[in-house]
Amino acid sequence: MPTGISRREFVGAAVAATAFSSGRVLSANDRISIGIIGCGDRGRNSIIKDILGFQSQANVEITAVCDPWKQMREQAAAQVAGAAGRAPVQHVHYEDLLAMKNIDAVAIVTPEHLHCTQLIDAVKAGRDAYVEKPLAMNMEELVRAVDAVKASGRIVQNGTQIRSLPQARAAREFIAAGGLGKVLKAAQARNGTRPYWLTYGERTVSESDVDWKAFLGHLPRRPFDADQYACWYGYREFSRGPHTTQGLHFVDTVQFITGAGAPSRAVAHFASCRGKDRRTVPDSVEMTFEYPEGFVVRYCQFFGNGFQRYNSIFGTRGSIDCGNWSWDGDWPVSGDGAEAADRLEKGTKLPRVEGVHHMLNWLECLRTRKTPIAPMEAGYTHAVAGILADESFIRGKRMAHDPVARRIYEDVTAG
């Protein structure tokens, strides 16, 4: 490495030098080379598994895997080798993966505080990207990421996969055709017996097996903390909490189905009702969003009791039960509770619509260069909702969003 420059600057120069070749135009016979950034449970059990499942159909291969945790990285490499017959290159630092000349696209499946940094670096290096949600943790990084992707012209899919379900597409068509009349409200309760982050906290991590600095990324340096590494979902520096990790799936689905943009205002209340431990995310969240399209969205979640889970969209003609998120799940439609003369009749069903798996949609768009189903515009609107709610919690105020200036602010208006 030349003297006088940092490792990041050196790697950045190498990335820039190879950016042109990585942006090659792909023919139908070209095999797409993908790098995986983040090989934790989500990376291995969902993203890698899905890509490998479509590797023949989409003519793709996983060429490299990257993770600061040795065991996760090695498990991912073995998983790819077992399914593809060839072991991928392993990297500790994502910058080294981006510097590989033969990588066409990357899947970013890392802790939430790294999403925007790694996405920006990826598209600047000429790579298309799949990035898990939430896209961003604050407005500053969100705007930077959106602008970087727009300037790059790269194909980016956000990991809000519920919108790809056939029943979600069917509900979108149904509502667009006036099936629910005027949409009034959407609500979900996603209660559970045990916080999801506790399971991750049970993992054993040895300092010698991880690159702690790579995990922290841009965050302030501090001594190695095994619990923060294993249980990062439980710390607000790395993940804001259930309202962004899980709640944004519902918010994004509602926005997709209704065709709405970002919410205009939000109020949120969070608490830790199970008793405090060293983890900092709340275990009880309540948030309400107002949309300029004229409806309200409410999301609530707590842990300790899994009773009364629901997920519905309500309109003047009836409602849709959106609770079944399996691929072939039914979303029942009902006119119960509606007083309109044209309320939905008994036996009304959503139209039958064919779906395309969320991952396959991205892989196909890498070749066709068409816009994927969850592009950056969708990433922006779901991220705005999460940031509005989080800032409402922090400030104890109702927050509003200015879509022109792309900023959020305390809303002091009445009504």
Residue 415: per-residue pLDDT: 59
Report how far residue 112's alpha carbon sits from residue 233's, in angstroms, rounded to the nearest whole number.
9
> Which stretches of 207-363 are assigned E, i.e. beta strand?
265-271, 284-291, 295-302, 310-315, 318-321, 333-334
| CATH topology match: 7-154 vs 163-354+376-410 | no
Residue 14: per-residue pLDDT: 43
Report how far residue 81's alpha carbon sits from residue 63's, in angstroms, rounded to the nearest whole number.
10
Q: Radius of gyration of the chain from Cα atoms? A: 22
Contact (Cβ atoms closer than 8 angstroms) between residue 266 and residue 395: no
Of 406, 401, 381, residue with least CA distance to 391: 401
Residue 23: per-residue pLDDT: 54
Report how far residue 399's alpha carbon sits from residue 381's, in angstroms, rounded to the nearest whole number.
15
H/E element holding 142?
helix 139-152
> Residues 305-360: pLDDT tens digits?
999 899 999 999 999 999 999 999 999 999 999 999 999 999 999 999 999 999 99
Report how far residue 229's alpha carbon sits from residue 201's, in angstroms, rounded to the nearest whole number.
9
Residue 276: per-residue pLDDT: 78
Number of H helices, E strands in the chain: 15, 15
Report how far residue 42's alpha carbon sits from residue 113's, in angstroms, rounded to the nearest whole number.
16
Does this model's pTM top 0.85? My answer is yes
Report how far residue 16's alpha carbon sits from residue 121's, in angstroms, rounded to the nearest whole number.
10
Residue 376: per-residue pLDDT: 98
Residue 278: per-residue pLDDT: 94
Q: What's the distance, CA 374 to chain centroid?
A: 10
Instruction: Tell me which architecture the domain covering 7-154 has in CATH.
Output: 3-Layer(aba) Sandwich (3.40)
Residue 27: per-residue pLDDT: 60
Using DSSP bridges, classify how beta strands 156-158 and 128-131 pair: parallel, antiparallel or unpaired: parallel
The beta-carbon contacts of 212-221 under 8 Å, at least 24 apart in sequence, are 212/68, 214/68, 214/92, 214/93, 214/94, 215/68, 215/111, 217/113, 217/114, 217/117, 218/113, 218/117, 219/113
Matching CATH number, 163-354+376-410, of 3.30.360.10, 3.10.180.10, 3.40.50.970, 3.40.50.2300 = 3.30.360.10
pLDDT by 10s per residue, the chain, length 415: 443 444 454 444 444 444 334 555 666 679 999 999 999 999 999 999 999 999 999 999 999 999 999 999 999 999 999 999 999 999 999 999 999 999 999 999 999 999 999 999 999 999 999 999 999 999 999 999 999 999 999 999 999 999 999 999 999 999 999 999 999 999 999 999 999 999 999 999 999 999 999 999 999 999 999 999 999 999 999 999 999 999 999 999 999 999 999 999 999 999 998 887 899 999 999 999 999 999 999 999 999 999 989 999 999 999 999 999 999 999 999 999 999 999 999 999 999 999 999 999 999 999 999 999 999 999 999 999 999 999 999 999 999 999 999 999 999 886 5
Q: Which residues contact 389 (CB under 8 A, 6 or more apart)?
A: 243, 244, 247, 266, 268, 285, 287, 289, 399
> Residues 198-207: pLDDT tens digits?
999 999 999 9
Residue 154: per-residue pLDDT: 98
Report how far residue 290's alpha carbon sits from residue 413's, in angstroms, rounded to the nearest whole number.
14
Q: Which residues contact 347 (CB under 8 A, 6 or more apart)?
A: none
Report how far residue 122's alpha carbon sits from residue 116's, in angstroms, rounded to the nearest whole number.
10
- Ordered by start, the domain boundaries in the chain are 7-154, 163-354+376-410
Of 71, 11, 72, residue with least CA distance to 36: 72
